[in-house]
Structure 1
């Protein structure tokens, strides 16, 4: 294997353990350097646009100091009735969010971006998620596990939250926080493809 066939390092521009878990499941080695950016909305910015922009900015921020790495940025938001549900500030707000989602459909928008060598490519996954009907006691019991407190919309689909998600239409991994197939498709735009456990030239 020549140097030109040696894949670039992968850097995850996020402190999310779920995103790290998903890249790790692919068997790929990577480093974590969380990006510290302003996540405020811009005037007139719609939630899907916001998620993709933040993914790009996270990737670009870390790529500035890791220019020859494949830097992965991602951002996930939960939307219901046109309102964005971010990470709850406390347990009471988490319960209120879950009660709002109870028995209804909502949308999860996850943006993902890859930056390397001064270039950035990005995409967006939009997923419809349906909750089963919950009473306040169930919401309080879920919040008491601590799982909802660092997650948009106050739930995680892969943990205890699997007991409250009735169904989804779209990419399950996007709801976890990283659309894996779209991420790999973006990496291919930089000349590398997934070879099951490694990246290969292609």
Structure 2
């Protein structure tokens, strides 16, 4: 474990983010405040993840001035369209059909709140899916219920193993927490 000079809060319910942060070697608590994840309609899609991540961090400014708070947000972008978390099987099917046989962008932003200041960094990866048939997509949706994942899929799950031909960028950015960035953000607070 890397001891930090002050307590760390992960402001996320994502089991993937929790596991990745644990695997990176940091001790932390989890606390989530519901946040409005809407964004200005004219905002460039490439800025959305950073905007939402910073909004999540802002919710903690008055609550924990003595702690570090880490927030994150991931968006999946195809063309100019952001694919959020699917609401149901039909929406997941539409998303995965749209991603099939194409390359899309995944942007994960992380924000660190420390001393009433928020520092946000974004990382981008490109993901190329081979053409998936409807049977494969339906199997994945029924078995893995990807309703808590932007774009309707998890790279670390079956669909990623059999369907992704190529990635450019960090696997962990696609998974939802670019740990190489998180480590650099927390490094100044590591007690040695």
Whether the TM-score (by the shorter chain) exceeds 0.5 is yes
Distance, in Å, in 2 between the alignment partners of 1:64 and 1:144 is 42
Query: Is 1:167 aligned to residue 166 of structure 2?
Result: yes
Instruction: Give structure 1 stretches of 5+ with no counterpart.
Output: 193-198
Contact 1:55/1:112 (CA < 8 Å) preserved in 2? yes
Corresponding residue for 1:200? 191
The count of aligned residue pairs is 189
Corresponding residue for 2:134? 136
Question: 1:142-179, CA deviations, whole angstroms, 9 ceiling, x for partnerless residues?
Answer: 10013411101000011223222221100110111011
Task: Give secondary structure in 2 for the equivalent of 1:19.
Answer: helix
Question: 1:11-45, CA deviations, whole angstroms, 9 ceiling, x for partnerless residues?
Answer: 01111111001001022111111131111121311
**After TM superposition, what 4+ stretches of structure 1 lie above 3 angstroms from structure 2?**
none
Corresponding residue for 1:95? 93
Superposition RMSD on alpha carbons, in Å? 1.5
TM-score where L is the length of structure 1: 0.88
TM-score where L is the length of structure 2: 0.93
Corresponding residue for 1:22? 20
Corresponding residue for 1:176? 175
Distance, in Å, in 1 between the alignment partners of 2:29 and 2:4 is 17
Question: 1:59-107, CA deviations, whole angstroms, 9 ceiling, x for partnerless residues?
Answer: 2212431211111010000000110100011101101110110011000
Query: Is 1:157 aligned to residue 148 of structure 2?
Result: no
